[in-house]
């Protein structure tokens, strides 16, 4: 079994996608379509910055998706359809949108607009500077929840990302997050680090964003994915259009269950793990969670060329 996964926020950097844009006409087509759809020169921000503009959530989310979809289009133009090179897809947070677009459930135009709206809605859900997130290292999700319950932190801080064993991210108002760090360290965390984000993603404080996405997603035209796409919310694949929309809406306020997705992939007998898009965060998490996976990060011209060579070499087997 083979899986392709797509990264989430945090994988962005100034210069992302530029070598793909310069080397492949397919990538250029994707970046130009995203620019035209959003009526902004997002690709210029991606290639040249400034960083403070790129890291705005409304820019970061479509930017990360655009790199993933550029690589998918390069592969597809050379005859490698997503259902011939992968058995199952997943994506971390916004990466689930990229996965659905790669599986031809969402059009590039629709996924670009949705992520622009999603990013702005999530950024605006809490006044700038009042929300925060922190990484809690050395405690499992179960232990993090126990610490929250024992120390009257419930409804103050919320588990947001269960990324890997002993790597959990929490969300909340900035003052509550800051006060909780000492509590987690006193209760066995090896590290408790406040993250440089300005909004508390994937927690109930995102309810205003959830309401916006409810209105925007309900009228979007989705198709059944070519292959299964695992949901961050339910850790399973959903075939029904209504079910997919329901998961995407709830995803805004629900915890990202990435550790469980890795367990699910392992139980599905996945052996080959390919991360497509900016950076290699998910490959590094897989190294910790599922060291038996054969991992590849496909994120720039060199790695795309290597992957194409690999696919060409084994193409007959892959297409059976």
Which residues participate in catalysis according to the annotation? Answer: 93, 202
Contact 107, 11 (CB under 8 A): no
The sign of the CA dihedral 228, 282, 37, 72 is negative
Contact 213, 145 (CB under 8 A): no
Question: Residue 56: how many CB atoms within 10 A of its CB?
Answer: 15
Between CA 65 and CA 6 the distance in angstroms is 8
DSSP calls for 110-134? HHHHHHHHHHHHHHHSS-TTSEEEE
3-state secondary structure of 192: strand
Tell me the C-alpha to C-alpha distance, in Å, between residue 211 and each of 9, 93, 141, 290. 21, 17, 27, 36
Between CA 93 and CA 70 the distance in angstroms is 19
């Amino acid at each position: 079994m083979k899986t392709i996964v797509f990264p989430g926020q945090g994988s962005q950097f100034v210069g992302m996608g530029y070598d793909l844009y310069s080397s492949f006409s397919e990538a250029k087509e994707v970046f130009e379509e995203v620019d035209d759809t959003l009526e902004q020169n997002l690709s210029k921000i991606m290639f040249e910055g400034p960083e403070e503009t790129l890291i705005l959530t409304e820019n970061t989310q479509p930017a990360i998706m655009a790199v993933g979809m550029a690589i998918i289009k390069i592969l597809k133009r050379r005859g490698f359809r997503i259902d011939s090179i992968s058995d199952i897809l997943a994506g971390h947070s916004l990466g689930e949108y990229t996965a659905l677009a790669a599986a031809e459930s969402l059009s590039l135009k629709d996924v670009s607009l949705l992520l622009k709206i999603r990013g702005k809605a999530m950024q605006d859900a809490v006044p700038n500077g009042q929300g925060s997130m922190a990484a809690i290292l050395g405690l499992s999700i179960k232990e993090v929840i126990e610490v929250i319950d024992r120390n009257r932190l419930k409804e103050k801080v919320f588990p947001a990302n269960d990324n890997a064993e002993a790597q959990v991210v929490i969300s909340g108002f900035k003052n509550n997050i800051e006060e909780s760090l000492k509590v987690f360290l006193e209760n066995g965390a090896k590290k408790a680090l406040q993250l440089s984000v300005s909004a508390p993603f994937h927690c109930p404080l995102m309810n205003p964003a959830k309401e916006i996405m409810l209105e925007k997603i309900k009228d979007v035209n989705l198709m059944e994915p070519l292959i299964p796409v695992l949901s961050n919310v339910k850790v399973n694949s959903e075939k029904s259009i209504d079910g997919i929309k329901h998961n995407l809406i709830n995803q805004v306020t629900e915890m990202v269950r990435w550790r469980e997705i890795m367990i699910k992939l392992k139980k599905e007998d996945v052996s080959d793990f390919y991360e497509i898009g900016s950076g290699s965060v998910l490959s590094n998490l897989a190294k910790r969670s599922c060291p038996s996976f054969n991992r590849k990060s496909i994120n720039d011209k060199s790695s795309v060329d290597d992957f194409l060579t690999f696919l060409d070499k084994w193409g007959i087997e892959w297409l059976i």
